[in-house]
Amino acid sequence: MTFHPDVASGRAGLGEPLTLNSVTVRYGETTALDDLTLNVDAGEIVAIVGPSGSGKSTLLRSIAGLETIETGQILLGDRDLATVATHRRWVGLMFQDNALFPHLTVADNVAYGLVHGSSRLQPAGRRASGAVESRVAEMLGLVGLEDFGSRPVQGLSGGEAQRVALARALAPEPGLLMLDEPLGSLDRALREELTIELRSLLNELGQTAVHVTHDQGEAFAIADRVAVLIGGSLRRVGPPEKVWLEPGSVEVAQFLGHRNIWSVSVESGQDATILRWGHRTLGEVGPATKAGRYIAVVPEQSLTLARGRAAAIEVVVDRVAFTRQGFEVECHSEGDDDHARGAAGPRPVWFLAEERLHPGDRVGLSLDLNRLHLLQT
Ligand code: ADP
Q: Kindly state whether residues 55 and 152 are assigned to the same domain.
A: yes
Task: Quick: pLDDT tens for 14-25.
Answer: 789 999 999 999
Q: Kindly state whether residues 349 and 226 are assigned to the same domain.
A: no
* Residue 233 CA neighbour count, 13 Å, CB half: 6
Distance of CA 59 from the midpoint of ligand 1 (Å): 10
- Which pLDDT belongs to residue 324? 87
Domain boundary among 255, 290, 306: 255
The DSSP call for residue 82 is G
Task: Quick: pLDDT tens for 192-241.
Answer: 888 998 999 999 999 999 999 888 888 999 999 999 999 999 999 999 99
The closest-lying atom of ligand 1 relative to the alpha carbon of residue 61 is 6
Write phi, then psi, for 148 (nearest 5 degrees): -100, -5
* Residue 173 CA neighbour count, 13 Å, CB half: 14
Ligand 1, atom 15, residue with closest C-alpha:
53
**CATH code for the domain in which residue 206 is found:** 3.40.50.300
Cβ of 54 closer than 6 Å to ligand 1, yes or no, is yes
Task: Quick: pLDDT tens for 296-324.
Answer: 999 998 999 998 888 889 999 999 999 98
Residue from 52, 57, 215, 216 to probe ligand 1 pocket by mutation (most atoms less than 8 Å from CB): 57
Task: Quick: pLDDT tens for 74-96.
Answer: 999 999 999 888 888 889 988 87
Query: Could you list the residue range(s) of the whole structural domain that residue 325 is in?
Result: 262-376
Ligand 1, atom 1, residue with closest C-alpha:
53
The DSSP call for residue 81 is G
Lowest-confidence pick of 27-41, 59-73, 181-195: 181-195
Q: Kindly state whether residues 150 and 238 are assigned to the same domain.
A: yes
- Which pLDDT belongs to residue 85? 86
The closest-lying atom of ligand 1 relative to the alpha carbon of residue 50 is 3
- Which pLDDT belongs to residue 126? 56
- Which pLDDT belongs to residue 137? 93
Q: Kindly state whether residues 229 and 273 are assigned to the same domain.
A: no
The whole-angstrom separation of Cα 373 and Cα 234 is 20
pLDDT above 90 for 150: yes
Q: 53: which residues sit within 8 A by CB, 6+ positions away?
A: none
Distance of CA 52 from the midpoint of ligand 1 (Å): 9
Q: DSSP secondary structure string, 150-218?
A: TSBSTT--HHHHHHHHHHHHHTT--SEEEEESTTTTS-HHHHHHHHHHHHHHHHHHT-EEEEEES-HHH
Domain boundary among 227, 255, 283: 255
Cβ of 43 closer than 6 Å to ligand 1, yes or no, is no
| Residues 361 and 343: beta-carbon distance below 8 Å | no
| Residues 42 and 15: beta-carbon distance below 8 Å | yes
Task: Quick: pLDDT tens for 243-260.
Answer: 999 999 999 999 999 999
Distance of CA 54 from the midpoint of ligand 1 (Å): 7
Task: Quick: pLDDT tens for 115-142.
Answer: 876 666 554 455 677 788 899 999 999 9
pLDDT above 90 for 59: yes
- Which pLDDT belongs to residue 6? 44
The closest-lying atom of ligand 1 relative to the alpha carbon of residue 229 is 3
Ligand 1, atom 27, residue with closest C-alpha:
27
Number of structural domains (the chain) is: 2
